């Protein structure tokens, strides 16, 4: 059963109920008018504070776009790229693509013009759908990009080099196209996050998408009266596949365009959200806003908020401990997944296992796990090895890249590149990325362990540890530390703090700077290595 059937079921059974709400708090902040005044404004998507659609309208918009694509010659197996910021049009366009039997290919909204062109060629897309934020980038590559490809623009004031989504789709039939889709059919291509180099194109089936729906609802128990607050970008598997729990249960979701603590708490309060998926930086920002007095929880209606869960990166124990002090009635979960496993938790902590925070948990619904050595044979419990996962949502392949596929996929097992170990209860502790392990004087050093320790310092907002070249030891550790606002800590004081670590784990060098993270919250260590590795380190010290 494809997920397009779920959308059509919801439209038939709950057609008049709200499916999606889009909130753009930056608009309200700029215009400084009241909530009620915004409800009366008739405006374009770019200037509207709040928009919503029902399940029936959602399905109708998906049908119109599907029929538009079919009119333009799109057929089963073609690829349609989606380059848009989160908005009310995003998911209907995604489902419209799937209804034709074509593959949806979401693009990272941070891609430069060159990266857009690279990924368009890599995934062999036939059509690119893009929004207002990308006009300049598309214009730069318009000539090579438009060769053999149709460009469709979603927004006001369509540029001359693209076709207008609004006018074209409005004139298309709202009837369901009726194309039969099988579970084994190809459904989507997602791109790897690119934190370790150029993105890879990851191919998935309709069966994989459907299992993600089941996994998410099994883990977090979405019911018809739940309201999911979605903040991360929809192009990424994490955000969309967590929303799949709402799709399966026929419940409402809110797309929030903004990450300030006030925006998040206001949306939870006004829209009566019950489930919120956060990234570590956003959770940290909320805690800091509470502790500083910038926000007062008594100003918001939060009693209905039942679950906060985090994914996409290791979660510090100290963060969850502090969170539960302010929100003691919250259930909590940690989700681990990859684009190659389609999210939203091939491994997860599990609600009710708060005492195991610091681990990523056990195999998720329908999944298997194992930890292996260099020979890909299982290691003993407690030993560090590479985490491998197997389940219904494992990718088919890296698209048209047999060599890269063979390196990570064997007998249905996906070798994640993450180093991990099991504790005495079988819970998996993520140690570090295989490629991020620092070998200093023959000793393996796992940066995540040092980062977690540094973040326990009350002055620290974020931390990242990388290896930098050293003539004698091969590599030594550099800790890049981002302090909280209004805190002052010297390098000497931080070195003194790190004396609690074993000697070989203590940072060799410390620099205070901002930590770059990608839209899914992962630390961009290649960027840090580029800035601070070798010659860059000397320049950074001179600047500081």
For residue 519, the model assigns a pLDDT of: 66
pLDDT interval class at 432 (50, 70, 90) = low
For residue 541, pLDDT over 50 is answered with no
For residue 250, pLDDT over 70 is answered with yes
- What mean pLDDT comes out for the span 28-50? 49
For residue 152, the model assigns a pLDDT of: 97
For residue 34, the model assigns a pLDDT of: 42
Domain boundaries, the chain: 3-258, 307-433, 441-543
Could you tell me which CATH number the domain at 3-258 has? 3.40.50.12780
For residue 207, pLDDT over 80 is answered with yes
- What mean pLDDT comes out for the span 526-541? 59
For residue 537, the model assigns a pLDDT of: 38
- What mean pLDDT comes out for the span 25-49? 52
- Alpha-carbon torsion (167, 171, 176, 177), positive or negative: negative
pLDDT digits (tens, 9 = 90+) for 343-388: 778 999 999 898 998 889 999 999 999 999 989 999 998 998 999 9
Question: What is 441-543's CATH number, 3.40.50.970, 3.40.50.300, 3.40.50.620, 3.30.300.30?
Answer: 3.30.300.30
pLDDT interval class at 520 (50, 70, 90) = low
For residue 539, pLDDT over 50 is answered with no
> Can you name the residues that pair with 491 across neighbouring β-strands?
none
DSSP collapsed to 3 states, 339-408 = HHHCCCCCEECCCCCHHHECECEEECCCCEEEEECCCCCECCCCCCEEEEEECCCCCCEECCCHHHHHHH
H or E segment and range at residue 203: strand 201-205
More confident residue, 529 or 307: 307
Mean residue pLDDT across the chain:
88
Which of 213-217, 514-518, 519-523 reaches the highest mean pLDDT?
A: 213-217
For residue 89, pLDDT over 90 is answered with yes
pLDDT digits (tens, 9 = 90+) for 101-139: 999 999 988 888 988 999 999 999 999 999 999 999 999
Q: Give the orientation angle of helix 3-14 with respect to helix 55-71, to 10 degrees.
A: 130
pTM of the entire structure? 0.82
For residue 195, pLDDT over 60 is answered with no
Cα angle, residue 86 at apex, residues 115 and 48 outer, rounded to 5°: 130
For residue 239, the model assigns a pLDDT of: 84
Report the topology of domain 307-433: Luciferase; domain 3 (2.30.38)
pLDDT interval class at 493 (50, 70, 90) = very high
């Amino acid at each position: 059963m494809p997920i397009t059937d779920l959308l059509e079921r919801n439209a038939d059974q709950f057609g008049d109920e709200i499916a999606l709400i889009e909130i753009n708090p930056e608009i309200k902040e700029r215009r400084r008018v009241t909530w009620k005044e915004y409800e009366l404004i008739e405006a374009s998507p770019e200037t509207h504070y709040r928009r919503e659609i029902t399940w029936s309208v959602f399905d109708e918009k998906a049908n119109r776009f599907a029929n538009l694509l079919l009119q333009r010659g799109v057929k089963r197996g073609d690829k349609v790229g989606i380059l848009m910021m989160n908005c009310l049009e995003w998911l209907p366009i995604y489902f419209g693509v799937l209804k034709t039997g074509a593959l949806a290919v979401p693009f990272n909204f941070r891609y430069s013009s060159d990266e857009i062109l690279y990924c368009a060629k890599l995934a062999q897309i036939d059509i690119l759908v893009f929004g207002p934020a990308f006009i300049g980038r598309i214009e730069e590559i318009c000539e090579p990009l438009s060769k053999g490809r149709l460009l469709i623009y979603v927004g006001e004031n369509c540029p001359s080099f693209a076709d207008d989504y609004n006018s074209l789709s409005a004139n298309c039939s709202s009837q369901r196209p009726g194309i039969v889709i099988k579970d084994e059919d190809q459904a989507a291509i997602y791109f790897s996050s690119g934190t370790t180099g150029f993105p890879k194109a990851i191919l998935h089936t309709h069966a994989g998408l459907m299992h993600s729906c089941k996994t998410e609802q099994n883990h977090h128990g979405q019911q018809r009266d739940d309201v999911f607050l979605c903040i991360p970008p929809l192009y990424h598997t994490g955000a969309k596949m967590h929303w799949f729990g709402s799709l399966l249960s026929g419940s409402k979701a809110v797309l929030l365009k903004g990450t300030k603590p006030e925006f998040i708490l206001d949306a939870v309060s006004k829209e009566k959200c019950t489930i919120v998926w956060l990234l570590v930086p956003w959770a940290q920002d909320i805690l800091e806003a509470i502790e500083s007095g910038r926000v007062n929880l008594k100003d918001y209606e939060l009693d209905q908020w039942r679950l906060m869960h985090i994914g996409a990166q290791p979660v510090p124990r100290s963060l969850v401990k502090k969170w539960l002090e302010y929100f003691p009635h919250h259930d909590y979960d940690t989700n681990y997944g990859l684009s190659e496993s389609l999210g939203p938790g091939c491994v997860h902590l599990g609600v009710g296992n708060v005492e195991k925070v610091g681990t990523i948990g056990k195999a998720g619904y329908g999944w298997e796990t194992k930890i292996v050595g260099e020979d890909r044979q299982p290691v003993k419990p407690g030993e560090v090895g590479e985490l491998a996962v197997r389940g219904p949502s494992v990718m088919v392949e890296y698209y048209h890249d047999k060599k890269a596929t063979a390196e990570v996929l064997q007998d249905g097992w996906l070798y994640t590149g993450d180093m991990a170990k099991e504790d005495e209860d079988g819970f998996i502790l993520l140690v570090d990325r295989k490629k991020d392990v620092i070998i200093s004087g023959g000793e393996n050093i796992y940066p995540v362990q040092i980062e977690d320790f540094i973040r326990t310092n009350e002055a620290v907002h974020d931390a990242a540890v990388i290896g930098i070249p050293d003539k004698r030891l091969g590599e030594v550790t550099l800790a890049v530390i981002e302090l909280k606002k209004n805190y002052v800590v010297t390098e000497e004081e931080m070195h003194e703090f790190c004396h609690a670590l074993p000697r070989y784990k203590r940072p060799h060098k410390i620099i205070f700077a901002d930590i770059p993270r990608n839209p899914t919250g992962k630390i961009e260590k290649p960027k840090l290595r580029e800035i601070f590795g070798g010659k860059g380190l000397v320049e950074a010290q001179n600047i500081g």
